[in-house]
């Protein structure tokens, strides 16, 4: 095993600010390991034209190993290792193969750079692009991985993979006009065909037919039964998009959940569709990414035992949350840019029973304050 760092990509985005790695991202590095091995094999064959295949043991038992995570967002330190100890009877060809893995790493970084500067990946490397169906699949909109990051000098590179770069890589494949991506949809389920093991969903992406599997059957049955009463589901999985970013089919469903009518993420998604001047010629549009960010924070920190609020848009492009229990009321005005909120509690029948407070909803501590105020007054 080499103790030198083989690769130290920098991951940036909201999920990496605490210098940790979400478990889902490890799936991307597993695919990266597979790609490095395949590229190393290709380089060996090219540099040794007298050989039709790589030597026995060339890549057997070779793997990437995570040895630590540095700060600077999150920087996983990866070394290349073998389950066979270096002082054992490891074939000499296997030892020599480490240089090909270094070359493979450099080639992958070069491929990502090529797309980022607007150039076309050469024909020889086209066969490797399909691996990006998995590499980068778990990145969110505000995240990226800098594969060429230099940990010694703390300097960035042009080998940055984000959702847009990944899409370009996959659409640049020969005769390929589709790419895969993680999806989260809010949808209704209008029909089900158990004989053909299929059901359809009706979402903002249109009506799409999906495979019906045993593990989601009970949830689908509830949703289709309650279709007329507008019972929404949340679907997570992998979708296939065409070159025009239209979802054409769902490749894999990870989960389906029945949503409460007051589900916050669902309501925020509805508000994100409002057009400019939505109220009598007035009213700003609401920023979709900031609404989504607030939804994620709400779902993380709001006490699930408390009642869900009604949510309304404001003319300024922000949101107002409201709770009511008999004569007791809470109104929470939230600036979705700064997450500064104005909390106001009042009693319809007692003018002296009022509470007003400003709370910045960007920390778990302040959400605990808000949770307590709601629990005490509603």
| DSSP code string of 84-120 | S-TTS---HHHHHHHHHHHHHHHHHHHHHHHHHTTPP
Residue-averaged pLDDT of the chain: 91
Instruction: For 260-287, give the DSSP string.
Output: PTT-HHHHHHHHTTPPTTTBTTB-PPPP
Q: CB atoms < 10 A from the CB of 189, how many?
A: 26
Q: What is the pLDDT of residues 170-179, one digit of tens each?
A: 998 876 788 9
Q: Which two tokens stand for residue 45?
A: 């064959």
- Residue 27 pLDDT > 80, yes or no? yes
Q: Which residues pair with 371 in a beta bridge?
A: none
Q: Which residues of 230-260 are buried (b: 16+ CB within 10 A; e: fewer)?
A: ebbbbbebbbbbeeeeebeebeebeebeebe
Q: What is the pLDDT of residue 88?
A: 38
- Residue 41 pLDDT > 80, yes or no? yes
Distance CA 235, CA 248 (A): 15
Decide if 143 contacts 17 (C-beta within 8 A).
Answer: no
Beta-carbon-side half-sphere exposure of residue 75 (alpha carbons within 13 Å): 19
Q: Which two tokens stand for residue 247?
A: 């979802």
Q: What is the pLDDT of residue 80?
A: 85
- Residue 2 pLDDT > 70, yes or no? no
CATH 2.40.50 domain range(s) in the chain: 180-258
Q: What is the pLDDT of residues 108-160, one digit of tens each?
A: 999 999 999 999 999 999 999 999 999 999 998 889 999 999 999 999 999 99
Decide if 49 contacts 43 (C-beta within 8 A).
Answer: no
pLDDT-based confidence at 18, cuts 50/70/90?
A: confident
The CA-based angle 292-297-72, given to 5 degrees, is 95
Residue whose tokens read 């979402």: 203
Q: Does domain 180-258 have CATH number 2.40.50?
A: yes
Cα–Cα nearest to 321, from 304, 305, 342, 346: 342
């Amino acid at each position: 095993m080499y103790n030198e760092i083989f690769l130290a990509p920098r991951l940036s985005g909201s999920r990496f600010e605490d210098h940790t790695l979400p478990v889902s991202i490890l799936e991307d590095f597993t695919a990266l390991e597979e790609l490095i091995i395949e590229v190393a094999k290709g380089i060996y064959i090219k540099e040794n034209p007298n050989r039709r295949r790589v030597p026995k043991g060339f890549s057997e038992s070779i793997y990437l190993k995570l040895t630590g995570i540095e700060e600077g967002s999150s920087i996983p330190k990866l070394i290349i290792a073998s389950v066979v100890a270096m002082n054992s009877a490891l074939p000499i060809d296997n030892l020599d193969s480490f240089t090909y893995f270094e070359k493979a790493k450099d080639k992958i970084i070069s491929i990502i750079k090529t797309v980022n500067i607007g150039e076309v990946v050469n024909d020889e490397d086209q066969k490797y692009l399909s691996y990006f169906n998995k590499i980068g699949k778990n990145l969110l909109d505000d995240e990226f991985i800098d594969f060429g990051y230099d940990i010694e000098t703390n300097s960035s590179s042009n080998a940055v993979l984000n959702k847009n770069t990944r899409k370009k890589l996959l659409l640049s494949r020969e005769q390929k006009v589709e790419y895969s991506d993680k999806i989260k949809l809010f949808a209704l389920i209008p029909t089900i065909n158990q004989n053909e093991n299929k059901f359809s969903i009706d979402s903002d992406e249109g009506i799409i037919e999906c495979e019906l599997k045993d593990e989601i059957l009970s949830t689908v049955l509830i949703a289709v039964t309650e279709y007329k009463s507008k019972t929404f589901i949340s679907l997570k999985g992998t979708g296939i998009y065409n070159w025009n970013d239209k979802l054409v089919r769902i490749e894999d469903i990870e989960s389906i959940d029945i949503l409460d009518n007051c589900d916050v993420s669902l309501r925020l998604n509805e508000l994100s569709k409002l057009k400019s001047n939505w109220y009598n010629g007035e009213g700003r549009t609401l920023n979709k990414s900031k609404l989504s960010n607030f939804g994620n924070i709400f779902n993380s920190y709001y006490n699930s035992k408390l009642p869900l609020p009604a949510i309304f848009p404001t003319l300024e492009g922000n949101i107002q949350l409201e709770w009511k229990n008999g004569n007791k009321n809470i109104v929470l005005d939230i600036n979705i840019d700064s997450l500064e909120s104005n909390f106001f509690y009042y009693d319809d029948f007692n003018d002296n029973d009022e509470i007003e407070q400003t709370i910045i909803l960007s920390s778990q501590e302040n959400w605990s304050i808000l949770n307590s105020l709601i629990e005490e007054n509603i």
